[in-house]
Structure 1
């Protein structure tokens, strides 16, 4: 059994590696993201394809087996909201943090939007949907 400390260290190392990679391949620049989203630049596609390859190898090395099951009820609406937010803001929730770290302060509006969105999701879930607790992100 893996210890919590080892898992935390692995998460920190992979998070730092991801942040470094994302900031150095242009994912923090809205114009770059626009070119990648419109397939004028294939870096995003190749990056995600590479990430899938890496995680497949990691799962094989760690002997992690996932049994495909029923899709959670929140996946499709969550994916639509996530994609809409990404298209409007020019990045997933990690990108505005990278933009703020790089000195682009207007990204703070997106960070606030992410926090407000999570709180609204939790409120709507508790009031109307009653999905499991982890369905609203942070």
Structure 2
């Protein structure tokens, strides 16, 4: 097996495990997400906080003494974040959750994914021509 194939398999295993955790914790349920956004239930917020904490520890372990380069601020981050949050609040799903919902057989996820793809397409078309925002991919220099 090549290194690239092993890397793709590890990504697939990680994605599968992430999907199982998202499904198990209730992140794929519109009602649960609605309760989180309306602050009626703090369980998913606690799961968010725990995942952020674990991610921080993981990144610290992986980075171990290596300098982390600062990235330039992208003007599209703020409106993009607002649109992402609005879409998530309306549909009960972010891109990864929509894929997990599809795997669970929730056909409404097809419309969410179509909305995500339409939004990405519209951003790439409008941001560079009308808004003078970077349309690059995250992590590109």
Report the TM-score range of the alignment, normalised by the length of the smaller protein. 0.7 to 0.9
CA deviations on 1:45-86 (whole Å, 9 max, x unpaired) are 111111111111211221254344542111101101101111
Unaligned runs of 5+ in 2: none
Query: Pairwise CA RMSD of aligned residues?
Result: 2.1
CA deviations on 1:7-59 (whole Å, 9 max, x unpaired) are 54443333222111001111111111111222222222111111111111211
Cα distance change on mapping 1:80 and 1:55 into 2, 3 Å: same
1:114 equivalent among 104, 108, 116: 116
**Greater RCO between the two (CA within 8 Å, min separation 6)?**
2
Aligned residues: 133
* 3-state SS of 1:103 partner: coil
CA contact (8 A) 1:59 1:65 kept: no
- TM-score after normalising by structure 2: 0.80
CA distance in 1, matches of 2:6, 2:68: 21
Unaligned runs of 5+ in 1: none
Cα distance change on mapping 1:132 and 1:24 into 2, 3 Å: same
